[in-house]
């Protein structure tokens, strides 16, 4: 019987019961954790005493998020606070998929920005076609402003991995164009994946503030607007600045004519090879 085992061994068994990389932090994973915690008092105490069970959460938002007085956002934030409270001081991982384009959500912004224990964040816009992503842009702007209001301290000092997937979104120049000031938000970022539908010039500079000094893995997937710009504006790192870079992957295509679509991909395990292979491309990209 599990109840006859020491808490440490019982926790290891629960780890085996709940471990599924594809489900970790998802609704199914949450249901398993909650179900186990309600079996008996001993199981409940074991799960609450081991914060690793509560350090990850994956959500899929099907309703449109709005500012108050709409109650959905406060309920969402309250749920996240309750869940991650059990994680203690462990780094937190959060993945949020939006099935409808969210509007500005001040309460959710404040929670995400003021929680300094994020290790990994993933934001997915799964809405088909869209223009820009105002919600994400406002979040990044708010996170950048936090540093200026708090004696220069970064809001996410331990943040290591950022994933942005918006394969149906077209990002264009304008007041709410995509800007990712990652140097001032997450200076210790190690992994960054950006997937978009299409970038229009001058949106190539969207990566101008990537902390290449700390980055180990970088991947971009998307369509560029045309072939009229001969230079690669993704600020591919200087080898003297990207000493920790282990992999650099770029998948891009031009949308000028379907018959002229070109794709380039590069991935390498060492900076030296990555630099030698990616820099010559800049002559014609």
For residue 152, how many C-alpha atoms fall within 13 Å in the half-sphere facing its CB? 0
Place of tokens 């309460």: 107
CA distance 31 to 21: 15
Quote the pLDDT of residue 95: 94
Quote the pLDDT of residue 272: 42
Quote the pLDDT of residue 200: 72
Quote the pLDDT of residue 112: 97
Domain definitions of the chain by residue range: 1-54, 58-283
Q: What is the pLDDT along the chain (285 residues), one digit of tens a residue?
A: 666 666 666 666 666 666 555 444 445 566 677 777 767 777 777 777 678 888 889 899 998 888 778 889 999 999 999 999 989 999 999 999 999 888 779 999 999 999 999 999 999 999 878 878 889 989 998 998 987 677 767 889 889 999 999 988 887 776 556 788 898 899 999 999 999 888 775 545 677 788 888 999 988 888 776 543 444 555 566 667 788 888 888 777 766 544 333 344 444 444 444 443 343 333 333
First to last CA, the chain: 63
Distance of CA 216 to the CA centre of its chain: 15
pTM of the model: 0.79
For 54, the token pair is: 């509560």
CA distance 97 to 95: 7
């Amino acid at each position: 019987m599990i109840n006859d085992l020491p808490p440490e061994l019982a926790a290891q068994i629960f780890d085996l019961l709940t471990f599924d990389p594809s489900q970790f932090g998802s609704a199914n994973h949450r249901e398993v954790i909650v179900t186990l915690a309600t079996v008996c008092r001993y199981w409940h105490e074991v799960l609450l005493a081991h914060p690793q069970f509560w350090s990850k959460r994956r959500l899929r938002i099907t309703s449109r998020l709005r500012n108050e007085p709409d109650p959905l956002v406060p309920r969402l934030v309250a749920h996240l606070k309750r869940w991650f409270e059990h994680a203690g001081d462990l780094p937190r991982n959060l993945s949020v998929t939006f099935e409808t384009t969210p509007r500005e959500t001040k309460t959710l912004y404040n929670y995400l920005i003021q929680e300094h224990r994020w290790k990994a964040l993933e934001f997915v816009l799964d809405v088909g076609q869209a223009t820009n992503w105002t919600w994400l842009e406002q979040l990044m702007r708010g996170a950048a402003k936090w540093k200026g209001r708090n004696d220069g301290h970064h809001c996410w000092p331990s943040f290591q991995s950022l994933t942005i997937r918006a394969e149906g979104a077209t990002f264009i120049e304008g007041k709410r164009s995509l800007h990712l000031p990652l140097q001032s938000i997450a200076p210790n970022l190690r992994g960054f994946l950006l997937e978009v539908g299409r970038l229009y010039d001058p949106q190539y500079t969207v990566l101008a503030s990537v902390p290449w000094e700390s980055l180990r893995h970088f991947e971009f997937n998307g369509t560029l607007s045309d072939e009229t710009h001969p230079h690669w504006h993704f600020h591919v790192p200087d080898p003297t600045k990207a000493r920790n870079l282990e992999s650099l992957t770029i998948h891009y295509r031009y949308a000028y004519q379907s018959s002229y679509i070109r794709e380039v991909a590069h991935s390498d395990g060492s900076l030296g090879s990555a630099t030698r292979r990616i820099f010559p491309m800049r002559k014609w990209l």
